[in-house]
């Protein structure tokens, strides 16, 4: 008994030491997060409550309630983000499925072409879309010379152009995690489903698709959150008519004497995003998404 | 480009070193593009012969200065600015008061320098049109710009309030001399905004920069736009089918200011004195069609009568225009800008 008791003490001491060691090992990372994340975000919150006269004030938030443009700008921001995410899923999922069914060599080639746009600056890609889509751009002039349509179609300087540009930029963020999830699905599962009498369609929807949803949600979430803070693409392709929160933050910094006017927008966007994630987490298992696998 | 100017700067500094014992170094920030190129060739590079070492940067406007001053990390000695934002920044305490015993403004136009900012060039906010669409008989007033029956076609307009309300009121029948009086109330601003709302279905693009105005006209994306006259002249030189008129245009000026706590404040003051001299100012129109702020620049013989007649500040052109009222901007810009954004997001 005594020996066991000593042993138990020793085990407990080991466990404490182990915990301490783990904490010690992760403390640089914790410190980094504190310095680069917690403190700036805390400061952002603090500054958003400072009025033009340097005193505590709610004026930055009152302004957002009184002026309906703020509501519309938040609406546009979420609208653009939702639509971009939806289009990315519609285009990205089938594409990832197609690539995942290819032989390894061909699949790698396809993945490289998916990743290729990452090697070009975002600004260059955005302006390239402007050149392609404008009234006398390549797409319109080809379409009209081929007789497909007679009048130039308005594809840029509006919501359409913004979405085309953003979907193009965001697609890789969706395809990669989805592709990863698809490759992780054991091919025998599908064979087993077929063996048990499921049609290919049924096997896909009841076996394959559910197994790839964590990857899909991970990709969709990443696309959605990146979209919320987008600036360059809507600014260039939206023609000044698609105004997102990031653009309003810039104009508030130019317009008002204090940083609070801009910080308050950041705070509201952050809170709204966290709220959406929280709602999403009620329906989805975020841990699983973050783990990306099973 | 930057490397190139830096090399010139060093070469000039070495050459000037013998003549001038002191080597005065200043960092100047401007807007980039064809505008800064013109400033560089006419003002900054020649000033190096007078013993200055000039480091050029581009910047994002007075919000950059605000950031530098509020954090105490001022790196810029001189900034080029629009007159309105300089007036507001001065009132905010972001700028050094200029010493007019050092800078000689005796031959300046009286309204083209202020306590915090000394004028560098005179420009106009004009309406420009595609000469392919309308031939030579383009719009001749703001009312024409608004007239989509007589001048069918797509428009572009500014995405900020500065210089955007005055044209709307003139199109609405307000006499130029009464524009700022009408604008000095929220109802007056709303009246101008309603006029823009009327045109909005025909406005395809709200532009955000001078480079964009030129690009929109060059690519034929819109048939008519507002913008800064020098940009259109340079676009036309590049083959764009574009023309503009000074009638009812807004006469405005760019100026140079010194951020509060600039590292080389005294050298900056001396530099501003140098580039405000007529022998510098008379070179600017060679590179961009912006006029001098120093009247004496017209007397050096460098600006030909032909060039002068095309500048915004020539007496003939100036008489047709509405000078920007800086007091109005100091008092109303913030309110008007918020209301303008309301209109844009509708």
Q: Work out the mean pLDDT of chain A and round it to a whole number.
A: 89
Q: Are residues A22 and A136 in the same domain?
A: no
DSSP3 helix / strand / coil % (chain A, rounded to 5): 80, 0, 20
Q: Are residues B157 and B68 in the same domain?
A: no
Greater confidence (B34 vs B156) lies with: B156
Where residue A289 falls among pLDDT bands split at 50, 70, 90?
low
Q: Are residues A132 and A258 in the same domain?
A: yes
Which residue in B has a C-alpha nearest to residue A133's C-alpha? B221
From the list B63, B92, B221, which residue is nearest A254 (CB)?
B63
Q: Are residues A124 and A246 in the same domain?
A: yes
CATH code, B178: 3.40.190.10
Q: Are residues B134 and B97 in the same domain?
A: no
Which two structure tokens, joined as six digits, stand for B290? 């912006």
Counting every residue written for chain A, the total comes to 294
CATH code, A179: 1.10.3720.10
> What is the tally of structural domains in chain B?
2
Q: Are residues B332 and B210 in the same domain?
A: yes
**Contact yes or no for B345 and A73 at CB 8 A:** yes
Q: Are residues B164 and B202 in the same domain?
A: yes
Residues of A in contact with B205 (CB under 8 A): 157, 239-241
Asked if residue B16 has pLDDT above 50, the reply is: no
Q: Are residues B166 and B234 in the same domain?
A: yes
Q: Among all chains, which residue has been given the structure tokens 């109802």?
A: B187
Q: Work out the mean pLDDT of chain B and round it to a whole number.
A: 90
- List the domain range (segments joined by +) for residue A5: 1-48
DSSP conformation letters of A113-156: HHHGGGGS-HHHHHHHHHHHHSTTSHHHHHHHHTTS-SSPP--S
Q: Are residues A160 and A264 in the same domain?
A: yes
Asked if residue B5 has pLDDT above 80, the reply is: no
Question: What's residue A285's pLDDT?
Answer: 63
Q: Which long-range contacts (CB under 8 A, 24 or more apart) does A113-118 make?
A: A114/A171, A114/A172, A114/A175, A114/A176, A115/A172, A117/A168, A117/A169, A117/A172, A118/A172
**Contact yes or no for B220 and A243 at CB 8 A:** no
Q: Are residues B147 and B277 in the same domain?
A: no
Mean pLDDT, residues A140-149 taken together: 92
A224 close to A81: Cβ distance less than 8 angstroms: yes
Question: What's residue B8's pLDDT?
Answer: 52
B267 close to B52: Cβ distance less than 8 angstroms: yes
Asked if residue B19 has pLDDT above 90, the reply is: no
> What is the tally of structural domains in chain A?
2
Question: From the centroid of its chain, how far is CA A290?
Answer: 13
Residue A35 domain flag? yes
- A66 close to B (CB below 8 A): no
Asked if residue B125 has pLDDT above 80, the reply is: yes
- A141 close to B (CB below 8 A): no
Question: What's residue B15's pLDDT?
Answer: 47
DSSP conformation letters of A78-125: HHHHHHHHHHHHHHHHHHHHHHHTS-HHHHHHHHHHHHGGGGS-HHHH
**Contact yes or no for B205 and A253 at CB 8 A:** no
Where residue A5 falls among pLDDT bands split at 50, 70, 90?
low
Q: Are residues B207 and B67 in the same domain?
A: no
Identify the CA nearest to B249 among candidates B263, B230, B266: B230
* Complex ipTM tops 0.90: no
Q: Are residues B243 and B96 in the same domain?
A: no
Residue A63 domain flag? no
Mutation pick from A239, A251, A254 vs chain B, by most beta carbons of B within 10 Å, is: A239
Number of helices (H) and strands (E) in chain A: give both, helices first: 15, 0
Residues of B in contact with A254 (CB under 8 A): 61-63
Residue A62 domain flag? no
Question: What's residue B236's pLDDT?
Answer: 93
Residue A58 domain flag? no
Q: Are residues A108 and A16 in the same domain?
A: no
**Contact yes or no for A257 and B63 at CB 8 A:** no
Phi, psi of B286, deg, nearest 5: -70, -25
Q: Are residues A31 and A173 in the same domain?
A: no
Where residue B88 falls among pLDDT bands split at 50, 70, 90?
confident
- List the domain range (segments joined by +) for residue B78: 2-122+253-313
Residue A190 domain flag? yes
B59 close to B29: Cβ distance less than 8 angstroms: yes
Q: Are residues A191 and A123 in the same domain?
A: yes
Residues of A in contact with B160 (CB under 8 A): 251
Residues of B in contact with A137 (CB under 8 A): 219
Question: What's residue B70's pLDDT?
Answer: 86
Q: What is the pLDDT of residues B266-293, one digit of tens each?
A: 999 999 999 999 999 999 999 999 999 9
The Cα B54–Cα A44 span in angstroms is 37
Q: Are residues A31 and A111 in the same domain?
A: no
**Contact yes or no for B341 and A248 at CB 8 A:** yes
Q: Are residues A138 and A33 in the same domain?
A: no
Q: What is the pLDDT of residues B49-65, one digit of tens each?
A: 999 999 999 998 888 89
Question: What's residue A279's pLDDT?
Answer: 85
B236 close to B288: Cβ distance less than 8 angstroms: no
Question: What's residue A282's pLDDT?
Answer: 79
Asked if residue B2 has pLDDT above 90, the reply is: no
Q: What is the pLDDT of residues B190-208, one digit of tens each?
A: 999 999 999 999 999 999 9
Q: What is the pLDDT of residues A214-267, one digit of tens each?
A: 899 989 999 999 999 999 999 999 999 999 999 999 888 888 767 888 999 999
Question: What's residue B42's pLDDT?
Answer: 96
Where residue B209 falls among pLDDT bands split at 50, 70, 90?
confident
Q: Are residues A125 and A191 in the same domain?
A: yes
Where residue A290 falls among pLDDT bands split at 50, 70, 90?
low
Q: Tell me the CA distances in angstroms from B182 to B165, B173, B174, B343, one per residue in order.
A: 11, 12, 8, 19
**Contact yes or no for B206 and A72 at CB 8 A:** no
State the pTM of this model.
Answer: 0.84
The Cα A263–Cα B336 span in angstroms is 21
Q: Are residues A5 and A91 in the same domain?
A: no
Asked if residue A104 has pLDDT above 60, the reply is: yes
Q: Are residues B27 and B113 in the same domain?
A: yes
Asked if residue B3 has pLDDT above 80, the reply is: no
Specify burial of residue A48 (Cβ count, 10 A radius: 0-12, 13-18, 19+). buried
Q: Are residues A36 and A127 in the same domain?
A: no
Residue A61 domain flag? no
Which neighbouring-strand residues pair with B57? B29
Q: Among all chains, which residue has been given the structure tokens 């697609």?
A: A171
Task: Calculate what percentage of chain A has a pLDDT beyond 70.
Answer: 94
Residue A60 domain flag? no
């Amino acid at each position: 008994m005594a020996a066991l008791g000593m042993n138990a003490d020793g085990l407990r001491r080991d466990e404490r030491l182990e915990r301490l060691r783990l904490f010690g090992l992760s403390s640089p990372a914790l410190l980094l997060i504190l310095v680069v994340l917690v403190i700036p975000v805390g400061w952002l919150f603090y500054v958003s409550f400072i009025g033009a006269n340097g005193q505590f004030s709610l004026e930055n938030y009152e302004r957002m309630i009184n002026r309906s443009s703020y509501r519309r700008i938040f609406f546009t921001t979420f609208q653009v983000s939702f639509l971009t995410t939806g289009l990315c899923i519609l285009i990205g999922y089938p594409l990832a499925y197609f690539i995942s069914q290819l032989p390894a060599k061909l699949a790698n080639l396809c993945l490289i072409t998916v990743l290729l746009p990452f090697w070009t600056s975002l600004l260059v890609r955005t302006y390239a879309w402007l050149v392609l889509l404008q009234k006398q751009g390549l797409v319109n002039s080809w379409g009209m010379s081929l007789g497909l349509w007679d009048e130039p179609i308005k594809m840029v300087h509006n919501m359409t152009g913004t979405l085309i540009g953003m979907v193009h930029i965001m697609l890789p963020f969706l395809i990669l995690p989805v592709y990863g999830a698809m490759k992780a699905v054991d091919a025998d599962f599908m064979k087993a489903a077929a063996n048990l009498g499921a049609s290919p369609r049924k096997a896909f929807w009841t076996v394959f698709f559910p197994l790839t949803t964590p990857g899909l949600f991970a990709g969709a979430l990443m696309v959605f959150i990146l979209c919320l803070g987008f600036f360059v693409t809507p600014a260039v392709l939206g023609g000044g008519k698609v105004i997102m929160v990031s653009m309003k933050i810039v104009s508030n910094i130019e317009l008002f004497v204090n940083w609070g006017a801009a910080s308050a927008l950041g705070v509201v966007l952050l809170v709204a995003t966290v709220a959406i994630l929280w709602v999403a987490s009620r329906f989805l298992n975020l841990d699983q998404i973050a783990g990306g696998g099973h | 480009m930057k490397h190139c100017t830096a090399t010139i700067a060093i070469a000039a500094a070495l050459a000037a070193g013998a003549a001038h014992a002191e080597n005065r170094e200043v960092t100047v920030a401007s807007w980039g593009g064809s505008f800064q190129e013109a400033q560089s060739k006419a003002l900054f590079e020649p000033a190096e012969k007078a013993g200055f070492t000039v480091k050029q940067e581009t910047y994002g406007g007075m919000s950059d200065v605000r950031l530098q001053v509020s954090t105490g990390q001022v790196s810029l000695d001189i900034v080029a600015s629009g007159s309105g934002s300089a007036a507001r920044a001065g009132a905010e305490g972001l700028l050094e008061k200029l010493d007019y015993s050092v800078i000689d403004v005796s031959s300046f136009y009286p309204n083209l320098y202020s306590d915090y900012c000394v004028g560098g060039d005179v420009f106009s906010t004009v309406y420009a049109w595609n000469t392919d669409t309308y031939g030579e008989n383009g719009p001749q007033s703001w009312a024409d710009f608004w007239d989509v029956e007589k001048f069918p076609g797509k428009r572009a307009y500014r995405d900020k309030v500065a210089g955007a309300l005055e044209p709307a009121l003139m199109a609405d029948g307000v006499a130029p001399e009464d524009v700022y009086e009408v604008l000095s109330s929220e109802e007056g601003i709303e009246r101008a905004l309603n006029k823009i709302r009327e045109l909005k279905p025909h406005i395809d693009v709200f532009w955000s920069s001078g480079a964009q105005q030129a690009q929109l006209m060059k690519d034929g994306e819109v048939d008519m736009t507002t913008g800064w006259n020098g940009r259109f002249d340079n676009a036309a030189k590049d083959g764009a089918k574009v023309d503009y008129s000074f009638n009812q245009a807004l006469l405005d000026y760019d100026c140079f200011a010194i951020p509060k706590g600039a590292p080389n404040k005294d050298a900056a003051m001396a530099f501003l004195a140098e580039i405000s001299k007529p022998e510098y100012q008379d070179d600017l129109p060679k590179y961009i069609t912006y006029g001098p702020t120093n009247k004496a620049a017209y007397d050096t013989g460098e600006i030909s009568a032909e060039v002068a007649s095309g500048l915004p500040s020539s007496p003939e052109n100036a008489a047709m225009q509405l000078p920007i009222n800086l007091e109005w901007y100091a008092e109303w810009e913030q309110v008007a800008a918020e209301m303008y954004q309301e209109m844009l997001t509708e």
